[in-house]
Amino acid sequence: MYRKVTRTGPATLTIALPAKWVKEHNLKPGQYVEVDESEADLIISPGIEKTPENIIIPYNEVLIENMLEKLFLEAEATITIHSEEKIPETITKIVERFPGMQITEMQPNKVIISRTLKPALSNPDALLRRSYIVIKEALTHNPPQFSSNLNETFFLLQLHQKRPKEIFILKELYSTILKLKKPVHDNTYALLRLVFNTVYEQKYNFSSTDTKHLAEIFGRTEDLFKNYYKKSKSPLQISEVHYCIHLLSQLHKEILYKQSIDVLTKATKLTSKRFRVGVCLKNQSNPFWAIDVKESIRQTAQGYKDMELIFKSPLKDFDINEQEEILKEFISEGMDGIMLAPIQPKRLKKIVDKINKLNIPLLILDTDIELEENKYTFIGFDNYKGGYLTGEYLKKHLKKGSNVLILKGHLEGNFTQRVPGFIDAMGKEYKTKVIVGHFQESTAYEKTLEYMKKNKVDAIFSTSDNMALGAIKAMEELNKKIPICGFDMTEGGLAALKKGKLLSEVNTKPREQGALGAHTMYNLLTKKTVAERIEYDIEFITKKQLTR
């Protein structure tokens, strides 16, 4: 159907609506219609006069998150939050997690949150984006946890008959992910989460760097999975994840095929930065690095328009060989600065020497390399103190002579001081047993389960949240409830603390570490005075403190 465009004012163009459509929807002069933009198309729908439901709730951080999730995924509503005391500014961070939601009014004792997007049913692009976001959120948990069923969404998308191939692949991916019912080995799951998040970014925020990164990963997929199959106790699960990666490869090809000229224009702007900084963290599986530190660095660096970040970290946990290769790449690519969270500091001495000889500013995060002859800036915190504070608090909840299981990581680094700090605080009146969980959720789950079946354990101290979450899953499977103390306060650890699944947390402030890293690196690049060591305070947190 074609309609002629006519001019009705100096800057106003109009078209006539089809008479049959107007009559069918009983439209009258003065009524509103809804107009949605979808790339090059306009979608016109009859306006629905509906007063948004106003939900009034008292301030409670957990309740607000749950209400927002319900509102974002299912309802159209306004939430009014009230409190007798001042509402913390952290409410803004909670709201930012939900695209299309924003705070429209903020007073000391009252906050109004509204949905700014129109209902998704009228716009296939909104439906498609919702599908990506729901899967992305589900993959933050291991195994994945979906907050809503997407089958109806895919059905509606198919009715719109737009991007049928992309929708078919995404639906198949969703169906396969649903089959992952038990915790997946961390390296394998981290790869799936990394690839999906990068594909999502490619769709909505194109980056030529991400394109190259995905090409490298897809090129190595077969070799990676051969290794995973050999080590896995659950080959069927590995097979499902392998198929997911294959689907994501097809999905990425389809997305690139559909990229617009606007995206290509954005890609040409990426080389105009004054400073290029290589960022190599410890791995891409632990949320501490993959989510908290990385995103904080990225967000903070956005304030420096002339600094471009190139993120490359080992795909597998604690792969020192890959970290060395990445650092060599940074040098050969002529990076203006390097930000590094070292896996095995002593192994990196030669490469650090080379970075120093080339006068490339070097910023070390979290784990000090302790090489006095080398020049670098270190950002970190007191690991011993975190372990000690945990031990002092846990003693108050145990009888003397209790058995405490300690889950620790491996390899070298100042983070190993968490265990001595804890044991010193506990003293000789408590029995402790240390097992290695490799900082992996799935390994901690398996080892805790195995140990608990044969031994009496009254409490658990985990030197990382990743392992703490694995211990929680083991306790749930054994139907036992004992105190578990976490460390790092990642998003998953904080959620577990709020639900009472963790007794305490040590907030090592990964986001503060990332923000400090971005600020400090820019100061190094612009020749400003920077201290050789920057140490920030950690914070010991209990559930009682969260509810005050």
Give dist(CA 118, CA 130) in Å, integer: 13
pLDDT for 220 equals 84
Average pLDDT over residues 271-277: 76
First to last CA, the chain: 62
The answer on pLDDT for 356 being more than 60 is yes
Average pLDDT over residues 331-357: 91
The answer on pLDDT for 352 being more than 80 is yes
pLDDT digits (tens, 9 = 90+) for 227-270: 777 777 778 888 899 999 999 998 988 887 765 434 444 444 44
- 10 Å Cβ neighbour count for 388? 21
Could you tell me the pTM of the whole model?
0.57
pLDDT for 12 equals 64
pLDDT for 212 equals 80
pLDDT digits (tens, 9 = 90+) for 141-188: 888 988 778 887 787 777 666 778 889 999 999 999 999 988 888 888
Are 491 and 140 within 8 A, CB to CB?
yes
Are 313 and 326 within 8 A, CB to CB?
yes
pLDDT for 262 equals 40
| % the chain with pLDDT above 70 | 84
The answer on pLDDT for 353 being more than 80 is yes
Domains along the chain?
53-115 (3.30.110), 121-266 (no CATH), 273-381+511-540 (3.40.50.2300), 383-507 (3.40.50.2300)
Give dist(CA 281, CA 365) in Å, integer: 8
Average pLDDT over residues 33-37: 62
Average pLDDT over residues 489-494: 89
Residue 441 corresponds to which tokens in the numbers above?
A: 């959720």
| Strands, E assignment, 288-361 | 307-311, 337-340
Give dist(CA 307, CA 80) in Å, integer: 40
pLDDT for 120 equals 43
Q: Within 13 Å of residue 211, how many CA atoms lie on the same side as its CB? A: 16
